[in-house]
Every structure is written in C-alpha cells, then in structure tokens.
Amino acid sequence: MKPGSGVIVRVNRQFAVPAERVFDAWVDPQWAGKFLFATPKGEMLRCEIDARVGGSFLIVERRAGVSIEHFGIYLEVARPRRLSFLLRVPAYSPVSSRVSVGLLRMEGGCEVVVAHEAVEESLANRTEEGWKSILEGLDAVLTAMPPQLPVA
C-alpha cells in the first residue's frame, strides 16, 4: 500500500462528561490502558504514554496468547480539543496510519470524533468495529474515573 492510500474510517460517540475529562482519559496510562486498544478477552500488559507533540505511546495487549503492540507518535496534543498521532500495529500492517481524535463541546458533555486515515480497504470494517469498541470501553472508564484527575 502506498503512503496516503486507503480509506478514512470515522466513528463518533457522545459522552455526558466534559471534554477535559475525556481528553484526560486518553492520555493517562492508568485509564487509557483500560480501554485504548483493549479487548474484552485480552490482557493488558503495558501502557506507556508520553502525551506531548513528538512524544510516543506503547500499548501491548495479549490476545489469544499473542502480544499485540500498538506504537504511536503524537503529532498534536491540544487539551481538551484534539489529539492526533501516527499509529503502527505491526501484527496487522507494516504501514503507519494517522488517527485524529476531535472532542467537541456540547450541552451536557461532548462528542468524540475519531478519524483513522489510510486504512487498508480490506481492514476498514474491522477498524471501524475496533474504534466503536474502544469508545464503548471509554464510556465505562469515564464512569469509573474519579471526578477529577490530578494535573501532571
């Protein structure tokens, strides 16, 4: 696949909490490890996050006895409006793709819009279902999080 080719997968979900709270869940390893690239039957092994432009993350989950690594480099970190990063998951593709997470303030909460660019067409449905599952897991995490995380 050529760089920049593929399709864009978009997924969105509304949350009844402020955008700041949602943003913080994405960048705090304690909470992100509970939903970001986590699957119901997987075991989270590692979640390291350095949420700054040029910073990186590594999230590793064991699925059916295989460790799946998710590598990312942050391109934009603008609390509480936007995150974007390059993502590489070697188990599924040797190619990096760009993911943008927009947080839109709404009455009574916010909406999260995930746009995953350059997804191989054969993986588009699987990618969409994966992001839907991640946002569902995020909803559960937001319920469990303390009212306010300490500021780092």
Q: Is pLDDT above 60 for 82?
A: yes
pLDDT band, very low/low/confident/very high, at 95 (cuts 50, 70, 90): confident
**Edge-to-edge order in the sheet of strand 66-78:** 7-15, 109-119, 97-106, 82-88, 66-78, 56-63, 43-49
Phi then psi dihedrals of residue 53, to 5 deg: -55, 125
Tokens 């593929």, located at residue: 6
Quick one: CA torsion of 98, 49, 106, 125, rounded to 10 degrees? 40
| 25-33: average pLDDT | 96
Average pLDDT, the chain: 92
The predicted pLDDT at position 144 comes to 86
Q: What is the pLDDT of residue 147?
A: 72
Query: Taking the domains of the chain in order of start, what are their residue ranges?
Result: 7-144
* Architecture (CATH level 2) of domain 7-144: 2-Layer Sandwich (3.30)
User: Does residue 1 surpass a pLDDT of 50?
Assistant: no
Query: Each residue of 97-148: pLDDT tens digit?
Result: 999 999 999 999 999 999 999 998 998 999 999 999 999 999 999 988 877 6
Compute the average pLDDT of residues 86-92: 94
Name the token pair of 59: 């999230």
What does pTM read for this prediction? 0.90
Please state, for a pLDDT cut of 70, what percent of the chain lies above it.
Answer: 94
pLDDT tier, 69 (very low <50, low <70, confident <90, very high otherwise) = very high
Phi, psi of 14, deg, nearest 5: -95, 145
Does 147 sit behind a cis peptide bond, omega within 30 degrees of 0 on the bond before it? no
Q: Are 71 and 49 in contact (CB under 8 A)?
A: no
Helices 124-144 & 19-27 angle (0-180, nearest 10)? 110
Backbone angles phi, psi at 82, to 5 degrees: -160, 145
The backbone torsions φ and ψ at residue 26, rounded to the nearest 5 degrees and listed phi first, read: -70, -30
pLDDT given at position 152: 46
